[in-house]
Amino acid sequence: MTCKILIVRTSSLGDLVHMLPAITEIAEHVPNAQIDWLVEESFADIPRWHPAIHDVIRVAHRRWRKNWWSAQTQQERAALKANLGARQYDVVLDMQGLLKSAWLVRQTHGVRHGLDWKSAREPLASLFYQVKHRVPFWQPAVFRQRTLAAACFNYVSQGAPNFGLQALAAQADPNQEPYAIIMPSASRDNKLWAPENWQAVFDRLQTEGLALRLLAGSASETERAEQLIQHRANAHVLPRMGLTQVALQLAGARIMVGLDSGLTHLSSGLGRPTIGIYKASTPVRTPLEGDAYTASLGERGQEPSVHTVLCAIDQALQSDPVLKSSDQASFPA
């Protein structure tokens, strides 16, 4: 008999990536699980990457809140309510623990599970769940999500996290010249790393024969990235593209070095050697996790030194046999 499950976790990019191992485990431990996922429209690609997801239901909170009472927004909210109301689930699991996610849970039919008062980021959200679970807050995000899912479905979470992204990673073009992906931009200036630090990183990577591909999500980020690689050969800023296209770029990279961001976490989830630079956040709660070498460097208020990052790059290069292949020598730095 099918067990119909609705997962509620709408954003953000990194948090959704952290969810994927929990989805893998639910599919493994719940017989005949049919898993739907309610997610913010701009991140709808992420659930689709996981083979265990049956249906993706889109919400548009980020867009709606700009014009909450407009006719179009009211129509779209009513359509979502009707969509959710027409579905019957055995389990509705809110893995976000916010009032905005609890508002969505209230519109569903099924036994509602979520974090308890002491565990939820917004404790009032726990009042809307029929079954509440205690999951201590200060734990790594991937582990926390796996623990919540295991508590909901009564199994034991164990082993290394499996993000379920193998099929997506296999779509990367294996015939490209070796390249590194760089994420030098962030949503806040206090996350940024000095340009001279990036130049040292670029020098090290290009010494290994790696081209540089920089990510940028806005016009200002593009301008900053262009300045960083000015007068540098075999380096360019990637154009803005959809999440799946970005994921394929990450999946094909030999190494990724980036500021703490959702894309950096996606890189490690795709099994690429990944180095994360933390300045305004702590890796205690959101360390990089994946099958390949990862390094989560720095701490809130204390950025990692260039030397520390370069040492991590050396370890990453040594950890991946592809990086050590002599084939890369044919590509100019």
pLDDT tens track for 164-204: 999 999 999 988 999 999 999 887 888 999 999 999 999 99
Tell which of 114, 129, 164 closes a domain: 164
Question: 101: exposed, middle or buried (C-beta count within 10 Å: 0-12, 13-18, 19+)?
Answer: buried
- pLDDT of 137 reads 86
Query: Distance (Å, rounded) from C-alpha 254 to C-alpha 208?
Result: 11
Domain co-membership, 85 together with 228: no
Q: Average of pLDDT values for 223-246?
A: 96
Q: Average of pLDDT values for 32-56?
A: 98
pLDDT tens track for 248-282: 999 999 999 999 999 999 999 999 999 999 999 99
∠ Cα 151 155 156 (to 5°): 95
Domain co-membership, 175 together with 256: yes
Domain co-membership, 28 together with 160: yes
Domain co-membership, 92 together with 115: yes
Tell which of 164, 198, 218 closes a domain: 164
User: CATH code at 321?
Assistant: 3.40.50.2000
Tell which of 164, 187, 203 closes a domain: 164
Q: What is the DSSP string of 176-209?
A: SPPEEEEE---SSGGG---HHHHHHHHHHHHHTT
Predicted confidence (pLDDT) at residue 291 exceeds the cutoff of 90: yes
Domain co-membership, 119 together with 188: no
Domain co-membership, 148 together with 172: no
Domain co-membership, 28 together with 172: no
Q: Hey, what are 107's tokens?
A: 């519109």
The identity of residue 277, as a single letter, is: I
Domain co-membership, 12 together with 155: yes
Q: How high is the mean pLDDT of the chain?
A: 94
The identity of residue 275, as a single letter, is: I
User: How crowded is residue 213: how many other Cβ atoms within 10 Å of its Cβ?
Assistant: 21
Considering the chain, what percentage of its residues have pLDDT values greater than 70? 96
In the chain, the number of structural domains is 2
Domain co-membership, 110 together with 252: no
Sheet holding 179-183, edge to edge: 235-237, 211-214, 179-183, 255-259, 274-278, 294-298
Which residues constitute the domain of residue 215? Answer: 167-330
Count, in order, helices (H) and strands (E) of the chain.
Answer: 12, 12
Query: Distance (Å, rounded) from C-alpha 6 to C-alpha 267?
Result: 26
Contact indicator for 59, 83 with CB cutoff of 8 Å: no
Q: Hey, what are 72's tokens?
A: 């179009």
Phi, psi at 10, each rounded to 5°: -95, -30
Which has the closest alpha carbon to 165: 277, 282, 248, 59? Answer: 248
Query: Distance (Å, rounded) from C-alpha 75 to C-alpha 71?
Result: 6
Which has the closest alpha carbon to 208: 232, 178, 234, 238? Answer: 178
Q: Is the peptide bond before 220 cis (omega within 30 degrees of 0)?
A: no
pLDDT tens track for 297-331: 999 999 999 999 999 999 999 987 554 443 433 32
pLDDT tens track for 88-138: 999 999 999 999 999 999 999 999 999 999 999 999 999 999 999 999 888
- pLDDT of 53 reads 98
Domain co-membership, 174 together with 304: yes
Contact indicator for 208, 177 with CB cutoff of 8 Å: no
Domain co-membership, 275 together with 288: yes
